[in-house]
Amino acid sequence: MRIIESIPEMQQASESWRCAGKQIALVPTMGYLHEGHLELMRAVRPRCDVLVISIFVNPTQFGPGEDFERYPRDLDRDIRLATETGVDIAFIPHVDEMYSEGYQTFVNVTGVTTPLCGRSRPAFFRGVTTVVTKLFHIVKPHRAIFGEKDFQQLVTIRRMAQDLNMDIQIIGHPIVREPDGLAMSSRNAYLTPEQRRKSTRLHRSLKEAEVLVRKGEKNGEAILKKVREVLAEGDDVRIDYVQLCDPTTLKEVDRISGPTLLAMAVHVGIARLIDNSVLIPSP
């Protein structure tokens, strides 16, 4: 695997592959790779000639008091895992090159970024869309893949790519979970063993909601009430939001009339965990 740190070097390499007719795929990451990241790489590997991952902890998507400084990092391990997974290029840019002195240009997607995480993390999506746009211009991929755990992020990037006529296929990949159901996330490293046990309530609450919907429940408040009850079974767990939304527009709904996103963000200790499920009503 080749490591590229320079933006011009990455752009030149990508241009040469494109001129040679090669298909490029990108897996954007902030590093501290886990099995969820590796599954994205494996999923897109057969669909490209050159597989690029980016490893960049993006400062513009962290708000004041958030965990930018303590965000887990282990570059040596990341490089080893990416190499073993068949990655061709690891693009690892420096912050001062991605955001040079005097930087003042940002990409802002409205609408789909307003609800859910947009309420409690107002700077987050502007940072995400800006860095992803920059990565698209630098790596020049034909396709990019994102995990559905960050469902609102995926919807936002799809909206951005469509609105800005980006000639890039945006691929979503199902959530990858631990054996006990916890969605894989780099922030799981913040959890103590006891908090790790409590965090399984997120997945359990989603499963309870799925059961209700399969049994014919369509009333949104009844479903959310059950979810909140499961999440509240003890201390050290604080709900940021639990909401039912249209999976395309992310507008809140109060009744299940078709595929409906159940999304949540929950604080367990210092970790803010997100999870979701698309509920399918019974015929």
Q: Are 98 and 10 in contact (CB under 8 A)?
A: no
Distances (CA, A) of 92 to 17, 135, 138, 169: 19, 11, 12, 22
Question: What CA–CA distance (Å, rounded) separates 258 from 218?
Answer: 10
The residues, ordered by sequence, that sit 6+ positions from 11 with a Cβ below 8 Å of its Cβ are 137, 138, 140
Q: Which of 37, 142, 173, 203 is catalytic?
A: 37
Question: What CA–CA distance (Å, rounded) separates 85 from 63?
Answer: 33
Tell me if residue 142 is catalytic.
Answer: no
> 6 phi and psi, to 5 degrees?
-90, 135
DSSP 201-250: HHHHHHHHHHHHHHTT--BHHHHHHHHHHHHTSSSSEEEEEEEEE-TTT-
Q: Are 51 and 88 in contact (CB under 8 A)?
A: yes
User: Catalytic residue numbers?
Assistant: 37
